[in-house]
A and B are shown apart, each in its own frame.
Chain A
Amino acid sequence: MSESSPAQPILTVRGLTGRIAGQLVVEDVSFDVAATGVTALLGRNGVGKTSTIRSILGLIDRTGEMSLAGTRIDRLPTHRIVQLGVGYVPEDREVFGGLTVAENLRLAERDRSPRRDEVRRLFPDLHDRRDQRAGTLSGGQQQMVSLGRALVNENRLLLVDEPTKGLAPKIVDEVAVALAEAAKTVPILLVEQNLAVIRALAHRAVVLSGGRVVYDGEASDLLDDEAMLRRHLGVHDAGEAA
């Protein structure tokens, strides 16, 4: 897998195993995230994609070896990992509903000179609603807040979990555009169900099945292989998803 990576991978994961309340949710997973572009993490529902991301961040109990740009992170607490330059956009957005939009963004600022203008340019709507409670926003607007919280800092890696889940097609496009723009400067590990979005964004793909990695390679090779898609993602027509 190394010959196709342009440089050292930004994140290496070896033998990652995660547990929730003693139950295995991620079992012995190993893969790399390339130093540039978007690496898609794929697999059927419930295969452990979200748990993998949460294990990387130490949000659930995990063992294994993980390095971020050469720094071992498997023994670090979550906040230290994030401080190394990891932006996290969680599944279901997890905005703080009782805080205003501005407070949500302010809370996320880690850098000395946060990129507020950048976020404002990407999501002008958020600026207009800065004093509104995030809990009263629509799902799409909440996703903007969640993305904004990650993009307001200079990151070395973005972990983005199902950013288009449950959103209207128009909003999906906006999210995809924002991610494509971000991907120019920062590598992204992306969990996504929407094949059209993957096709548009992903350079590489890692497929999980039964808690293990069953494919690790070029995204285009995977997307062109219908048999593979059907077997591991349960997709009947590769072009089906919106």
Chain B
Amino acid sequence: MTTSPKAPIVSVDALSVAYRSGGREVPVVREVSLEVSPGRTLALVGESGSGKSTVAATLLGHLRHGSRITGGRVAVDGKDVFALAARELRRLRGGTVAMVAQNAGHALTPSMRIGRQIAEAGGEVPVTDLLEQVRLERPRELARRYPHELSGGQQQRVAIAMAIAARPKVLVLDEPTTGLDVITQRGVLDLVGALREELGLAAVLVSHDLGVVARMADEVCVLSAGRVVEAAPTRRLFAAPADPYTRRLLASVPRIADAGLAVVGEDGMREIRPRADSAGAVDVVDVREMTIDYGASRAVDGVSFSVRRGEVLALVGESGSGKSTIAWSLAGLREPSGGTMGAASGGGAGGSSGDSSGDSSGDGSGGPSDARSGGASGGASGGSRGGLSEGASGGSRGGASGGASGGSPGGPRGGASDSPRGGSPEGASGGSRGSSPGGSRGGASVGSSGGSSGGPRGGSSEGASGGPRGSSSGGDGDLSAPARRRPLALRRTVQLVFQNADTSLNPRRSVGDAVRRPLRFFGTAGSRGEAASRARQLITDVRLEPDFADRLPAQLSGGQRQRIGIARALAGEPDLLIADEITTALDVSVQADVLCLLDDLRRERELACLFISHDLAVVRGIADRVVVLWHGVVVEEGPTDAVFAAPGHPYTKALLAAALEPDPEAEGAAAPAEEWADAAEPGALWDDLGGGHRVRRWRPTDG
């Protein structure tokens, strides 16, 4: 790359664009000026609505329906883009400037073979050469495929091939890797970087991902509400951001080195919140040897994990690793083909803690768990772990009386405290516990053993027989049943927050209604009036004004909608909240807020959370433990800090190496990924690194 400044090939001068809406002109871009020289890369950075994509599209003379230029000019290669005749403009688009659109899956025409689509873009370069140039294998065969027959990464490469087909001088990349997972993203970015040098392209990169920007750009232009707030060389900008907005934006980006969740102040100062301590908590959900099939292909193969009360467990992996499939299955949307999933509350919890402490005697393992959860219901009850943990959870959801009655009479014997609860009214109102499988089932098994032999042995016998594993046979605690066949109380224990809050809320119902519905459905709110006031309370709980209840989803921003998604899930008063890529579609600062909210909620409500994400930096901040999935198998799991500090599995290492930090000084060239093969054998699956950190066995295969 040359450092001597050449004449800029792109120059935008005081450009203003407005959008007509309801008779009013809404400015979207205000007096933006920028220049790009050949061989250089300029990044347009900003949050959604900042006008960055609009500016990028003007380089190709494109405006969205209803928008118009209200001032300034755009010149590419010496020509005023918006003064060109139609034929000239087509020549500019076909030859001088090319665009790689945000979502290649949507940017490729579904009814055309990709070979033809690339050929159409013009240029003398044969299609197969282009496909080879974007590092796609078997280009001949690929050219005959339709877009839907390609993976997301392949589609993006095809889109790039299409863009460079006519050998343009300027490449406009509009969020080229947003939808891709880290390893694919790294591959695509490396490809763009290489092509840029090979072909001497000037590039304009639009991105909200500062990690991508730090890696790719020479200069950065930060946009906010259509205005340039800061423009500077990349290194300078990241090292010493001058504008407060830039500072806040930079601070909001989660870092892979953060030891906890970063809380960003108004002034852009970051403060790392220490992790919540959930180490000794009881398990809420326990998954053993789960397998899920899609037709003949196995999406999830023998996955086991458990989530503790008040803990955030992250499932990490690329797309296709099975992480979302697991979430959907837990939520009852997809039936697993094997293994067990238990909502282990009450007795089940007792069993699992017995389990974790190595099937020690009931007394021994009961003690610590009491100390933690016993506050509400009285630690005095001693060895009755089952009863106690139930009481505690009852208390946390407001059923203090349930906790008390569960704890005190049952004192010495878990069984005694459990059995009355199964059928008692407050068991039902207390929620999952009373009628839920875990509770009543565990209770029953404790009851029988407790009844015959008394307190101390209750726990241990349960650990052996009535634990989470036993829950599979128990019937109604069984989460492997699809949602519609789960009893209401069990259905409530697991709630899902969707990735796209905007598509998962009914656009014609007020958001208050969306929250009220589960309240009425699960019977958590008795009357209509109570439901309405509870809904407002829940909306306040997710840090929104209660008046938001009357709005329609379309009247909310993305982050606000996602909060409503969380409130809706909380309305069921779940034990386990599944957050499936909930911040992926959000801007960084909004993402920081939503993550912060999630962290608050799990602390306040002792909520267990299964956090699914492909963004390792986010995971690092929010999660207590991490499970790394690869092609449907767990390759590594352990406490977040341990896994990030010393990843044991080559796949985890590759994921970490592919993650991009918002720091141009970061080591760019990742070490070539180790070649490896699975070496797990039945009976010797794991290498235990201690402290719950274990790695699936593998062996290097480089020849």
Q: Is the pairing of A and B real?
A: no
Spell out B's residues near A (CB within 8 Å). none
